[in-house]
Structure 1
Amino acid sequence: MSSEISSRGPADHDVRDQIVIAATEHFSLYGYSKTTVSDLAKAIGFSKAYIYKFFESKQAIGEMICANCLQDIETEIRTAVNEVDGPSEKLRRLFKASVTASLRLFSDDRKLYEIAASAATEQWQAARDYEVRIKALLQDILLEGRQSGDFERKTPIDETATAIYLVLRPYLNPLLLQHNFDHADEAPTHLSSLVLRSLSP
């Protein structure tokens, strides 16, 4: 659906950006599920038909907002990982930054969180792409750890990356996140320590 995210209308990035910015503000105030494209058009001052030149549906606008939001979280995670040396410390940082960034999304902007929840529920392309990129980052750390001799090499690497992702998933997936607040403070430390013990050669 990424081709749908990049619209079917004129390739005028300024107008598309203007629609996304306005939609983000509108969804933040009124919520994603309660807003129609007509509401959005009225709020922005564009006609509904004009918005449809750039985005084929409300979901396409939501996908763009969701992709931007997930990109911000991913950037924060990657920055945290790149600030430290050594695969073990990088893995600890990945756990910590993932939980911190995801919780911030939930607590800072509940209306935008609603878009992320829709993305997870309906398996939007933006959410699937994010999952793939986080798994790839995990796999890079695992490869580094195997090359340095810090991590075991017997288990197939894709199986290991998927298993670790599943441990992290309750803090990356907005639908699961809301049920895991009680342990959010200690979870990154405990979970990363457990994973690191399982990775010992």
Structure 2
Amino acid sequence: MSKTDANSGPARGPAEHEVRDQIVSTATEHFSRYGYEKTTVSDLAKSVGFSKAYIYKFFESKQAIGEAICANCLSQIEADVRAAVNEAEHPPEQLRRMFKSIVEASLRLFFQDRKLYEIAASAATERWQATLDYEARIQALLQDILKAGRQSGDFERKTPLDETVTAIYLVLRPYLNPLLLQYGFEYTEEAPTKLSSLVLRSLSP
């Protein structure tokens, strides 16, 4: 999770600057050890060996640093989901794999480190831009699968596409949002199979 995305999160200074990456990497380790809420920018400055003012040349706030870390985590989930979808040739199987990989990747990244989970929780609660962008990309991927399924004849075409995308996304949302995911933890093993099967039956032409 220390690998950084130079284009993620609000920032000051050159986006690809190695110092910015160093700040994000150090902040990731610091938040993992001490927690997001309890850490101040002054604490991070001491950890990275820079002045607080110097950090503000690259990030406008602690949240901006948190957003960069959050964007990296979400990018990992998205990469895992796309890889799983690309392994399948037919839209119905792609949809099944999408459900399964979203749950598995979300669990792996959001629950392997309880301290970093605080960042994900804050992002979901406050609707950070990194979260909104991620949700939009997942919906776009879902739309691509549905379009392909309609073209192949696997999915029905009567329901407006945007309505279908929104409905299926709402089924997936509890497994995308870390705050909701923790309340459905006991169902994560069976949920991907049962929910995707239900959705696929509703999509039958």
Q: TM-score, normalised by structure 1?
A: 0.96
Amino acid at match of 1:120: A
How far the C-alpha of 1:10 sits from its partner, in A, is: 4.6
What is aligned with 1:89? Answer: 93
Q: Aligned pair in 2 of structure 1 residues 96, 12: CA closer, same or farther (>3 Å)?
A: closer
Q: How does 1:158-177 map to 2 (within 5 A)?
A: 158-177=162-181
Amino acid at match of 2:98: L
Q: What is the DSSP-based 3-state SS (H/G/I as helix, E as strand, rest coil) of the residue aligned with 1:16?
A: helix
Indicate conservation of the 8 Å contact 1:95/1:192, yes or no. yes
Amino acid at match of 1:150: D
How far the C-alpha of 1:27 sits from its partner, in A, is: 0.3
Amino acid at match of 1:113: Y
Indicate conservation of the 8 Å contact 1:41/1:51, yes or no. yes
Q: How does 1:96-107 map to 2 (within 5 A)?
A: 96-107=100-111
Amino acid at match of 2:51: S
Indicate conservation of the 8 Å contact 2:8/2:67, yes or no. no
Q: How many residues align?
A: 199
Indicate conservation of the 8 Å contact 2:92/2:149, yes or no. yes
What is aligned with 1:149? Answer: 153
Q: What is the DSSP-based 3-state SS (H/G/I as helix, E as strand, rest coil) of the residue aligned with 1:54?
A: coil
List structure 1 runs of 4+ shifted beyond 2 angstroms.
3-6, 8-12
Indicate conservation of the 8 Å contact 2:30/2:47, yes or no. yes
CA distance in 1, matches of 2:181, 2:8: 28
CA distance in 1, matches of 2:85, 2:78: 10
Could you tell me which runs of 5 or more consecutive residues in structure 1 were left unpaired when the two chains were aligned: none
Q: How does 1:6-17 map to 2 (within 5 A)?
A: 6-11=10-15, 13-17=17-21
Q: Aligned pair in 2 of structure 1 residues 156, 120: CA closer, same or farther (>3 Å)?
A: same
Q: TM-score, normalised by structure 2?
A: 0.94
What is aligned with 1:123? Answer: 127
Q: Aligned pair in 2 of structure 1 residues 11, 96: CA closer, same or farther (>3 Å)?
A: closer
Amino acid at match of 2:67: E
1:190 aligns with 2:194: yes
Could you tell me which runs of 5 or more consecutive residues in structure 2 were left unpaired when the two chains were aligned: 1-6
Q: What is the DSSP-based 3-state SS (H/G/I as helix, E as strand, rest coil) of the residue aligned with 2:39?
A: coil
What is aligned with 1:79? Answer: 83
What is aligned with 1:57? Answer: 61
Q: What is the DSSP-based 3-state SS (H/G/I as helix, E as strand, rest coil) of the residue aligned with 2:46?
A: helix
CA distance in 1, matches of 2:15, 2:143: 36
Amino acid at match of 2:139: K
1:39 aligns with 2:43: yes
Indicate conservation of the 8 Å contact 2:91/2:154, yes or no. yes
How far the C-alpha of 1:44 sits from its partner, in A, is: 1.0
CA distance in 2, matches of 1:81, 1:50: 42
Identity among equivalent positions (%) equals 76
CA distance in 1, matches of 2:8, 2:164: 33
Q: 162-171 or 11-20: which moved more?
A: 11-20
Give the root-mean-square deviation of aligned CA atoms. 1.3
